[in-house]
Amino acid sequence: MAATVAYRGAVLLLWALAAVDTLVCRGLFWDGSAFLAKILEEGTFHDFYPARAHVAWLTQAPVLVLAKAGVRDVHVLAVVYSAMLFGVPTALYHLALARVRDRGALLAAMIAVVALVWLPTSFFIIGEYNIAYAAVTAAFAIALTRGAAEIRDGALMLALGLLCIASYEAMFYLGPITAGVIVWSARARRDPLALAAALAFLGAAVVAATATVVYWNHVHFVRVRAAAFDFWQNLQFVVPLATVALIAAGSLLRPAWLAGRGPIVVAAIGSLVLMVTPAFRLLLNPEAMVFPPSHYVARQAAGGLLSVLMLASWLHVARPKTPWALLGALHRKVVAERLATAMLVLLAAGLVPDLILTRLWVDHLAWFRGVVTSQRGVVAAESLGMKQWPRRLFAQEWTYPALSVLLHDAPGQAVVVARNDYTSNRPFDPNCGTVPRIDLYRWR
């Protein structure tokens, strides 16, 4: 019963959050506005660069279809774009949860992925890693729970592998471990689709590694590498991670502890801390720690955490009989239910800071639209106090022109521009920092 509640609760929270984020057009945050503007301006896919093209094709196709069909309402297009950006990973996580809903501790592991990997890094939803991580999670869930539906499972994993071939650089390590679990799952079967899926994930690793080498010294990637260990800035990531680490430490010291109330008590305490993290700014003023951009900063650590959780899940399934007390305890129904409940508590608590940031985003978007629709010509960003709280939460200088034009509802309205040459925070693609020409489109 507890496992069923945990599964249904996690799915309900996932889709409810996706619906909210879609309706408030959170896909326009940061790079999202520049991407949508380029799609509409050029009338084709804006794939950032080829190593991530498959994710772009999947998420941008509906917008292009609607634009080709004559839809000129930018608000509608922004909602559709957000729906794809949030809907695809949500559907993949739902798939993963559904596959493990009756698989004991695997359910707890998949809810943990949603709570620790997806939720704390998804404000920057335009990031291709969101879909790459969800696809890897779904592929693992399928591989670890394969039954009689061989063709269907193989086809699903192959589709996920083909998507991941051009998805994100983290596939250089996620690709091989995903291929490994797929091959392991097909070890006693003649399953050409599964083997093709494994090859696809290996191909994803090759593409990711090649892109990493090619762009290693690019200014953007140098900054990315330098920020890899700044995940501590994201309290939405760090607090649940520390909570799970405490539960893991307790289980290592005394595996029988997992069968009691200990995991849920620790999760409840961690959840209380997580829910009040937005208030930390009032006490300590650590603004970086409640920045929506901190989701972007924590994405690399989240990828590493995902690999640990997936490998642990693989070990759990591969060693059903083991002399290790901890692994044996995880196969007990009561332990699995306690852990699943604890992870659901963390997931629910994580919604609080996420929704607070989303509410601030709604206010910011309305304010920004008011600025551009009430004035004409060029508006200097410096005159708007963009570096003040809470506007600085959503400030990205090179995206101001794109967001301005997307929010226009009449010709000649204002364009917000930062007075610099974008050397400190310039876009990967310089063309994204220009004023898009989308005169036929209006926000209604």
How far apart are alpha carbons 180 and 159 in whole angstroms? 17
d(CA 126, CA 25): 12
Out of 335, 362, 389, a domain closes at: 362
Q: Are residues 330 and 376 in the same domain?
A: no
Give the DSSP letter of residue 34: H
**Which tokens in the block code for residue 103?**
């698989």
pLDDT at position 291: 74
Residues 209, 354 within the same domain: yes
397 and 278 co-located in one domain: no
200 and 164 Cβ atoms separated by less than 8 Å? yes
How many other CB atoms sit within 10 Å of the CB of residue 380?
11
Which residues have CB under 8 Å from 364's CB, separation 6+?
390, 391, 393, 394
Residue 441 lies in a domain: no
Q: What is the pLDDT of residue 333?
A: 82
Instruction: Specify whether the CB–CB gap between 199 and 332 falls below 8 A.
Output: no
Ramachandran angles phi, psi of 415, nearest 5°: -125, 125
Q: Which of 337, 362, 387 is the endpoint of a domain?
A: 362
**Residue carrying structure tokens 């405490």:** 246
> Are 14 and 130 members of one domain?
yes
Judged by DSSP in three states, 376 sits in strand
Domain encompassing residue 281: 2-362
> Residue 287 falls within a domain, yes or no?
yes
Tell me the DSSP string of 247-300.
HHHHHHH-GGGGGSSHHHHHHHHHHHHHHTGGGHHHHH--GGGG-THHHHHTHH
- Do residues 294 and 380 share a domain? no
415 & 339 share domain: no
Q: Which helix (H) or strand (E) holds 438?
A: none
Asked if residue 174 and residue 59 are part of one domain, the reply reads yes
The answer to the question of residue 414 being in a domain is: yes
Residue 440 lies in a domain: no
Upper half-sphere CA count for residue 322 (Cβ side, 13 Å): 15
Domain boundary among 301, 332, 362: 362
Q: How many domains does the chain have?
A: 2
> In the numeric block, which tokens belong to residue 112?
């943990």
Rama region for 104: left / alpha / beta (φ>0; ψ in -120 to 50; rest): left
Same domain, 424 and 305: no
pLDDT at position 432 is: 57
> Environment class of residue 266 by beta-carbon count within 10 Å: exposed (0-12), middle (13-18) or buried (19+)?
buried
Q: Measured in whole angstroms, how far is the alpha carbon of residue 347 from the centre of its chain? A: 14
221, 244: one domain? yes
Do 293 and 423 lie in one domain? The reply is: no
Q: What span, in angstroms and rounded, lies between the C-alpha atoms of 113 and 232? A: 18
Task: Let me know whether 291 and 423 are in one domain.
Answer: no
pTM, two decimals, is 0.93
Kindly state whether residues 74 and 175 are assigned to the same domain: yes
Residue 444 falls inside a structural domain: no
Does residue 303 lie in a domain region? yes
Q: What does the block give as tokens for 246?
A: 């405490």
Residues 327, 335 contacting (CB under 8 angstroms): no
* Tens-level pLDDT at each residue, the chain (444 residues): 688 899 999 999 999 999 999 999 999 998 899 999 999 999 999 877 888 999 999 999 999 999 999 999 999 999 999 999 999 999 999 999 999 998 888 999 999 999 999 999 999 999 999 999 999 999 999 999 987 667 889 999 999 999 999 999 999 999 999 999 999 998 877 788 999 999 999 999 999 999 888 887 877 777 777 777 888 888 899 999 999 999 988 887 787 777 778 888 999 999 999 999 888 776 665 554 557 888 888 999 999 999 999 999 998 888 776 666 666 666 678 878 889 999 999 999 999 999 999 999 999 999 999 999 999 988 888 888 888 888 888 888 889 999 999 999 999 899 998 876 555 555 555 555 677 888 899 998
Does any domain span residue 348? Answer: yes
Query: Distance (Å, rounded) from C-alpha 242 to C-alpha 211?
Result: 32
